[in-house]
Structure 1
Amino acid sequence: MQSPIPGYLETILDSVRADTSGHVADYIPELADSDPKPLGLAMCTFGGNLYSVGDDGTEFTIQSVSKPFVYALALQRRGWNKVQQTVGTEPSGEAFNELSLDRNTKRPMNPMINAGAIAVNQLINGEDSSVEDRVEEIREFFSALAGRELSINRALCESELETADRNLSIAHMLRNYDVIQDAAHDAVRSYTLQCAIEVDVRDLAIMSATLANGGVQPITGQKILNPDVCRMALAVMASAGMYDAAGRWMTTVGIPAKSGVGGGLIGTLPGQLGIATFSPRLDIQGNSVRGVKIFQKLSKDMGLHLMAAEPQGEYALRNIHTEGQDSVIRLQGKVNFPAAESILDEMVDHDFTGQRLVLDISRVSSFNRMGRRLIKEGLRSLREEGFEVAIYDPEDILKDLQYSDGTEAETLGSLESRSLEEKD
């Protein structure tokens, strides 16, 4: 069978595709000439399953989406005390390029605004590092997170430096208060090269999933960051990742996130998955218009809001076994999106041999909307492959038995179901 998840993600893209509001970042010459049409979406689970649709292979510069990852690298290499001496963790409520410092400490308010990101960049590879050595360490770190070699768009970097007066002003302010030691031009060049690393949405989803997975890259299995570092990076993303729209974002979407003026947007659900979108047109806060809408839809459909009282669905697949001519798929507990994705992943790889497939949900306590949708679509996919499919649901948990094509799932009667009762 084929997983229904890519099809669902395609419907999400189709729902926002017609929206042409917003504008590309026209204050950077190279970005001003970029194509505003690409639209991509990727999702990577903590188990290492990657789903991507749309323009998922289109590369773009990471820009400010780099900030939480470089902050995590600084924490990993320099430690909490050193990083905390350089940058705070409080939301500023200001635009990303505001010239401001904490009035008491004279440090940047957090690492997600440009002042904080420039200061954090200077911690990488030590304060005495050359620009090229520092940037190479960041590029290698990003490559490990993505699981492939990433490159730097140096032409875009030079274009961005032509209009970097505001960031230069920020760097001079940081030097004035001894937050950084490099010359202002070198500090801004180092930060701009960091932002010019090229990625696609698949890379960003995997990188985000690494934070969700406590620092273990979910596809390569490499341990890159400590869990405490990931926790701190995600906490700052939650409070400050969307700049002066952070409060509204956490209220409506509820996913730790970070945007970039190149059109990228990431979200990370701890212990669950990483999500990334790409759409270059930006709103007034500098966030991708269609990317924000996609996240709003995903959060609502999949029950991803961190503050929602949504139980997690671990170990929802009890077993798959054969009884006579039936292949029986037994589920248990609460089935939400992560649980359904894990179940479908097992079903995709399973070699079903019975003439009939029976989904036994007698031990399932509840489905959320997305869990129910995906499980039903998985059954429909198996039916289209030629299997006879039925559901054993003695407690009427599933309720809505209609597939997306308008047909209804077959249910087993009480007499047939007796042979399916598990012997304890």
Structure 2
Amino acid sequence: MADLQAILDDIHAELGPRLGEGKVADYIPQLAHVDPKKFGMSLITVDGAEHKVGDCDEPFSIQSISKVFTLTMALGKHGETTWNRVGREPSGSAFNSIVQLENEGGKPRNPFINAGAIAVSDLVLAGHTPREAIGEIVRFVRYLADDETIVIDPSVAKSEEATGFRNAALANFMRAFGKLTHPVEHVLGVYFHHCALAMTCTQLAHAGLFLAAGGSNPLTGHSVVSSQRARRINALMLTCGHYDGSGEFAYRVGLPGKSGVGGGILAVAPGKAAVTVWSPGLNHNGNSLLGSLALEMFAARTGWSVFGPA
């Protein structure tokens, strides 16, 4: 196997002169304060080897990466009926676009765009108060990462609630089509809070490891989902995990991945490892500019693309 630590060290060194490139997500006021020169990577192999570099142990707002975990929860609660409420196709539109909802009867294209994740939050909310649902999400992520220190950043959640007008529009639009069953303010409360989870690259790699290992965490022995469901979540991450930049990410990196506007990316090398990167500057699609480049370099040097070695 390639010297994974050396690969991470080399990527960090090569990208060093470019740290700070991209635009932080300043439309969420609390994220506007993040240092754009931060950069961290972490990877955990299915046999437990851990490699990391840079600011990998500094918590950051995982934002839409949390949608992987809420989708996993919704599938656990509702099974295949989840897909009655949200589709499985790439959107080709911006992550907060309302256009397709109008044309497609209020059913979001996939669970990783904002509208789709709001619909998933509605499913997770079933049988719970918002506070209970938020607590369940935090407990689940802690279980996945085997780390009880993971928390929601209340200042980020409050910042999102104060400025999330487009998400409120999406939720009200879906409610008008009968696609949400709970009050809009309850659903949005759950959504804004799970997006405000704060995690380090290392914690995030631990939390995503079950997707690299056929649905179980090989380090804890915890069974999370079936191997079939893990494959299908990975497939959705590959085709839909980077919004309208998903095709480009698949072309350049070739790994299932989910980005967030906090600058993080969780990537999965099935059968091998979970890899995370954090660099707050975003490209025009809302994905980490240098994070995407780091993973492209990583996939090329390891030969881990699901489409074959470089």
- TM-score, length of structure 1 as denominator length: 0.70
The equivalences for 1:9-158 within 5 A come to 9-19=8-18, 20-80=20-80, 82-99=81-98, 100-101=100-101, 103-104=103-104, 106-126=106-126, 128-149=127-148, 150-158=150-158
3-state SS of paired residue (2:275): strand
How much is the aligned-residue C-alpha RMSD, in angstroms? 1.6
Q: Distance in 2 between matches of 1:190 and 1:106?
A: 20
> What displacement does 1:14 show?
1.0
> Which of structures 1 and 2 has the larger relative contact order (alpha carbons within 8 angstroms, sep 6+)?
2
Q: Distance in 1 between matches of 2:125 and 2:226?
A: 18
Question: Does the 8 A contact of 1:109 with 1:116 survive in 2?
Answer: yes
Q: Distance in 2 between matches of 1:176 and 1:278?
A: 37
Paired position in structure 1 for 2:232: 232
Question: Does the 8 A contact of 1:146 with 1:207 survive in 2?
Answer: yes
Q: Which moved more, 1:163-172 or 1:42-51?
A: 42-51
3-state SS of paired residue (1:293): helix
Give per-residue Cα distances to partners, 1:343-372, cap 9 Å, x unaligned. xxxxxxxxxxxxxxxxxxxxxxxxxx9xxx
Question: Does the 8 A contact of 1:206 with 1:218 survive in 2?
Answer: no
Q: Distance in 1 between matches of 2:37 and 2:219?
A: 30
The reply to whether residue 169 of structure 1 matches residue 152 of structure 2 is: no
Q: 1:91 to 1:248 in 2, by over 3 A?
A: same
More helix by share: 2
- TM-score, length of structure 2 as denominator length: 0.95
Structure 1 alignment gaps of length 5 or more: 311-368, 370-424
What is the identity, as a one-letter code, of the residue corresponding to 1:55? D
Q: Distance in 1 between matches of 2:90 and 2:36?
A: 30
Q: Distance in 1 between matches of 2:181 and 2:104?
A: 20
> What displacement does 1:105 show?
5.3
Paired position in structure 1 for 2:199: 199
Q: Distance in 1 between matches of 2:167 and 2:255?
A: 28
Structure 2 alignment gaps of length 5 or more: none
Give per-residue Cα distances to partners, 1:128-171, cap 9 Å, x unaligned. 42111111111111111111011111111001111100000000
More strand by share: 1
> What displacement does 1:106 show?
3.5
Aligned structure 1 segments of 4 or more residues deviating by more than 3 angstroms: 102-106
Question: Does the 8 A contact of 1:254 with 1:307 survive in 2?
Answer: yes
Q: 1:23 to 1:104 in 2, by over 3 A?
A: closer
> What displacement does 1:102 show?
7.6
Q: 1:30 to 1:260 in 2, by over 3 A?
A: same
Question: Does the 8 A contact of 1:45 with 1:218 survive in 2?
Answer: no
